[in-house]
Amino acid sequence: MSISQGNLPAFLSEQRHGHLIDGRMVPAQQGDWVDSFSPADGRLIAQLARGREADVDLAVRAARRAFEGPWSRFTPAQRQKLLIRVHDVIEQHFDEIVTIESLDMGAPLTRLRGARNGLLQSILYFASQAHHAGGQTIPNSLAGRFTTMTIKAPVGVVGGIIPWNGPLFSQWGVIGAALATGCTAVIKPAEDASLTVLRTAQLLLEAGVPEGVINVVTGLGSEAGAALARHPDVNRLSFTGSTGTGREIIKASAVNMKRLQLELGGKSPDIIFADADLDRAVPGAGMGVFGNSGQVCFAGTRIFVERKIQEAFVERLAAFGRSLKVGHPLQEDVILGPLISQRQLERVQGFVQQGSREGAQLVSGGERLGGDLAQGYYLEPTVFSEVHNSMAIAQEEIFGPVASVISFDTPEQALALANQTEFGLGGAVWTSNIKTAMNMVHGIQAGTVWVNCYGAIDPAVGFGGVKNSGYGWKGGTTHIDGFLYQKAVVINTD
Q: How far apart are CA 36 and CA 50, in angstroms?
A: 11
* Amino acid identity, position 173: G
DSSP 83-144: HHHHHHHHHHTHHHHHHHHHHHH---HHHHHHTHHHHHHHHHHHHHGGG-----EE----SS
Q: Is position 197 an interface residue for ligand NAP (rule: CB under 6 A)?
A: no
* Residue number, 41 or 386, with CB nearest to Mg ion: 41
Q: Shortest gap between Cβ of 402 and ligand NAP (angstroms)?
A: 14
Residue positions annotated with a catalytic role: 263, 297
Which parts of 266-325 interact with ligand NAP (CB under 6 A)? 266, 297
Q: Shortest gap between Cβ of 240 and ligand NAP (angstroms)?
A: 5
Q: Is position 221 an interface residue for ligand NAP (rule: CB under 6 A)?
A: yes
Q: How far apart are CA 139 and CA 197, in angstroms?
A: 46
Q: Which does 225 bind (CB under 5 to 8 A by kind): Mg ion, ligand NAP, none?
A: ligand NAP
What does DSSP assign to residue 165?
A: S
* Residue number, 124 or 220, with CB nearest to ligand NAP: 220
Q: Is position 223 an interface residue for Mg ion (rule: CB under 5 A)?
A: no
Q: How far apart are CA 69 and CA 93, in angstroms?
A: 29
Q: How far apart are CA 336 and CA 133, in angstroms?
A: 41
Q: Which does 173 bind (CB under 5 to 8 A by kind): Mg ion, ligand NAP, none?
A: none
Which listed range, 7-15, 102-110, 298-306, 443-451, lies at the site for Mg ion (CB under 5 A)?
102-110
Among 57, 101, 191, 270, binds ligand NAP (CB under 6 A): 191
425 contacts 297 by C-beta, under 8 angstroms: yes
Region of 303 on the Ramachandran plot (φ > 0 left; ψ -120 to 50 alpha; else beta): beta
Among 122, 240, 364, 407, binds ligand NAP (CB under 6 A): 240
DSSP E strands, 318-389: 361-364, 382-385
Among 28, 89, 226, 379, binds ligand NAP (CB under 6 A): 226
Q: Shortest gap between Cβ of 101 and Mg ion (angstroms)?
A: 10
Q: How many CB atoms lie within 10 A of CB 438?
A: 14
Q: How far apart are CA 326 and CA 181, in angstroms?
A: 41
| Of the candidates 226, 184, 258, 211, the residue with the CA atom closest to the CA atom of residue 55 | 226
Q: Is position 421 an interface residue for ligand NAP (rule: CB under 6 A)?
A: no
Q: Shortest gap between Cβ of 105 and Mg ion (angstroms)?
A: 6
Q: Shortest gap between Cβ of 241 and ligand NAP (angstroms)?
A: 3
Q: Which does 265 bind (CB under 5 to 8 A by kind): ligand NAP, Mg ion, none?
A: ligand NAP
In the chain, DSSP finds a helix count (H) and a strand count (E) of: 17, 24
Q: Is position 377 an interface residue for ligand NAP (rule: CB under 6 A)?
A: no
Q: Is position 33 an interface residue for ligand NAP (rule: CB under 6 A)?
A: no
Which listed range, 165-173, 186-194, 292-300, 370-378, lies at the site for Mg ion (CB under 5 A)?
186-194
Dihedral sign of CA atoms 123, 124, 128, 130 in order: positive
Q: How many CB atoms lie within 10 A of CB 450?
A: 23
Which parts of 153-182 interact with ligand NAP (CB under 6 A)? 161-165
CA atoms in the 13 A half-sphere facing the CB of 386:
10
Among 30, 72, 136, 222, binds ligand NAP (CB under 6 A): 222
Q: Which does 155 bind (CB under 5 to 8 A by kind): ligand NAP, Mg ion, none?
A: none
Q: Which does 104 bind (CB under 5 to 8 A by kind): ligand NAP, Mg ion, none?
A: Mg ion
* Residue number, 8 or 220, with CB nearest to ligand NAP: 220
For residues 239-253, one letter each, b for 16 or more C-beta atoms within 10 angstroms of the residue's C-beta and e for the rest, the string is bbbbbebbebbbebb
Among 182, 397, 401, 449, binds ligand NAP (CB under 6 A): 397
CA dihedral of 469, 392, 318, 418, whole degrees rounded to 10 = -50
**Segment (H or E) for 54:** helix 53-68
Q: How far apart are CA 24 and CA 202, in angstroms?
A: 9
Q: Which does 178 bind (CB under 5 to 8 A by kind): Mg ion, ligand NAP, none?
A: none
Q: Is position 401 an interface residue for ligand NAP (rule: CB under 6 A)?
A: no
Q: Shortest gap between Cβ of 380 and ligand NAP (angstroms)?
A: 21
Which listed range, 73-81, 167-175, 188-196, 224-232, lies at the site for Mg ion (CB under 5 A)?
188-196
Size of the site for ligand NAP (CB under 6 A): 30
**Segment (H or E) for 243:** helix 243-253
Q: How far apart are CA 368 and CA 128, in angstroms?
A: 45
Which residues of this protein are in contact with ligand NAP, per CB under 6 A? 161-165, 188, 190-192, 220-222, 225-226, 229, 240-242, 245, 248-249, 263-266, 297, 397, 399, 425, 465
Which residues of this protein are in contact with Mg ion, per CB under 5 A? 36, 104, 192-193
